[in-house]
Amino acid sequence: MSTILAIDQGTSGTKAIVVDTVDGTLAIAEEAVRPAYLDGGGVEQDPGELLDSVLGAGRRALAAAGRPVDCVALANQGETVLAWDPATGAPLSAAIVWQDRRAERICAELADHAAWVAQRTGLVLDPYFSAPKMAWLRRHVTRQGVVTTTDTWLVHHLTGAFVTDAATASRSLLLGLDAVDWDPELAELFGLTGERLPRIVACDEIVGTTRAFGDEVPVAGLIVDQQAALLAEACLAPGTAKCTYGTGAFLLANTGSTAVRSASGLTTSVAWRAAGGTPYCVDGQVYTAASAIRWMQDLGFLGTATDLDAVAARDAEGVLCVPALAGLAAPWWRPAATATFTGMTLSTRREHLVRAVLEGIAAQVAELCRLVEADLGAPVTRLRADGGLTGSRTLMQAQADLAQVPVDIYPSGHATALGAAALARLALSPGLGLTEAVGAWRPATVHEPVWPADRAAEFRARWVATVEAYPGKGGTP
């Protein structure tokens, strides 16, 4: 038996759980963090707040568990970057969040290289990924110190190491996807030649030890958040897929040892490097999911996310929403797109708008399912789902109806942390296989499609037509 402190440092909060293989989850602690949304597309976080949230949540979870742990694991946001002093660990900039769009000009300058970048990295040339934001920091904020993703900075504070895991590195636009190593030509393209980049480690590698939470324990199980959830939901075979409904919605499908180059505008990354293997995954992103719900809360449409099912109408009565409140990602990659509502009349009420937002989130994920099928050359037969919004039966039923597949709800709200914990378990017991480390699970709920296929197809066609009708910055329907 191994007891793990697994920390999920996310965009809107940090969650720490203490879990072991016999008693399951022993304790949970959470610390909220809130990004600052700036004019001009900027999204920033206070690095000190991120570190404090990791330490605070971890210590509170350990205190609640009342037992020592054998390892600390860390899942991270993925593409959020900052500049910092490697001698002192002091931040030299704000953390530039994955949603930040201020590097759009840098990507526009490099547009002629987009096809080459996609072939080399598996990614789309977009500010969503790390390298454009790193270049923006170097141009506009500081030339001092190092510039890395937040996981490297957090692990440095815990252990003194200067590392990142293979999955996180594959989200940077600086990694050669086939070699799984930093690519000097990509660094040169982004004006990052000579930058000190962290050592790339396996996700099940012990990278050092920490006393940040009490007794000295090893640190392992480093992984980017979405791939952690893919692992926790046992998407271990090619073609298995999950979607996490958090700040955004993120659909990933395992492609095995094949680094598929998407023909559909999706992206390909390392799923994890563990147990001696390096599988890949194809993924698509919806930038606004829970963030769209918070927007509706701010407008007074509902009190909390738990009110969604009570407030949402049974039928949107023709109202349709493209919830592009932070632009559109795959497959459109329109960073300047804005949200649109169509089909409103004087009889439209808040409950219709709430329903339309939920259906708009589900419609975009359904489109991602269709594109994943095209890239894999095989149907997605089931969709596994995790994240806070899976508590909304309205959203999950809309997802099943529009994607026309059963949606299996993961029985824990902590898939990301549990995926990191599984990797830490592998680090402590290298003889384990992935299946043993992850363990078996059954869905808490299964949402079967109830819409007929022609109704789903008609809705999706109307929704896509609305996206196409209002390109760029959108328009006024």
Quick one: which of 333, 221, 225, 230 has its CA closest to 280? 230
3 state SS for 15-60: EEEEEECCCEEEEEEEEECCCEECHHHCEEECHHHHHHHHHHHHHH
Phi, psi of 355 (to 5 degrees): -60, -40
H or E element, residue 207: none
CA distance 144 to 81: 14
How is residue 271 written in tokens? 């799923």
Query: In whole angstroms, what separates CA 352 from the centre of its chain?
Result: 28
Binned average pLDDT, 10 residues per bin, the chain of 477 residues: 94 94 92 92 96 98 96 96 98 96 95 96 95 98 98 98 98 97 98 98 98 97 97 96 93 94 92 97 93 94 94 96 90 88 96 97 96 92 95 97 98 95 96 92 97 97 91 41
Identify whether the C-beta of residue 43 lies closer than 8 Å to the C-beta of residue 110.
Answer: no
Query: How many CB atoms lie under 10 A from the CB of residue 144?
Result: 12
At 75 the three-state DSSP class reads strand
Q: Which amino acid is at 226?
A: Q
Type of residue numbered 136: W
Cα dihedral 239, 244, 249, 252, rounded to 10, equals: -20
What's the pLDDT score for residue 247?
85
Q: Where are the alpha helices (DSSP H) in 78-129?
A: 104-109, 114-121
How many alpha carbons fall within 13 Å on the CB side of residue 53? 22
Distance from chain centroid for Cα 387: 11
Distance CA 248, CA 251 (A): 10
Rg (CA), the chain: 21
Q: Which residue has the tokens 């994607």?
A: 403
Task: Determine the Cα–Cα distance for residues 172 and 135; give it in Å rounded to an integer.
Answer: 11
**In this predicted structure, what is the pLDDT of residue 1?**
72
Describe the strand order of the beta sheet including 217-224 as a list of residue ranges: 24-32, 13-20, 3-9, 71-76, 217-224, 208-210
Largest Cα–Cα separation, the chain: 65
The Cα–Cα gap between 463 and 444 comes to 30
Return d(Cα 113, Cα 66) in angstroms, integer.
Answer: 54
Phi-psi region of 194 (alpha: psi -120 to 50; beta: other; left: phi over 0): left
Write down the pLDDT at residue 365. 97
Q: What is the pLDDT of residues 283-292, one digit of tens each?
A: 999 989 999 9
Using CA of residue 114, residue 117, residue 119, residue 125, what is the dihedral sign?
A: negative
User: For residues 179 and 86, what is the distance between their CA atoms, to the nearest angstrom?
Assistant: 27
Q: Which two tokens stand for residue 146?
A: 């190092």
Count the Cβ atoms, other than its own, within 10 Å of residue 33: 18
Contact 198, 148 (CB under 8 A): yes
Rounded Cα gap, residues 243 and 386, in angstroms: 7
The total of other beta-carbon atoms located within 10 Å of residue 424's CB is: 31
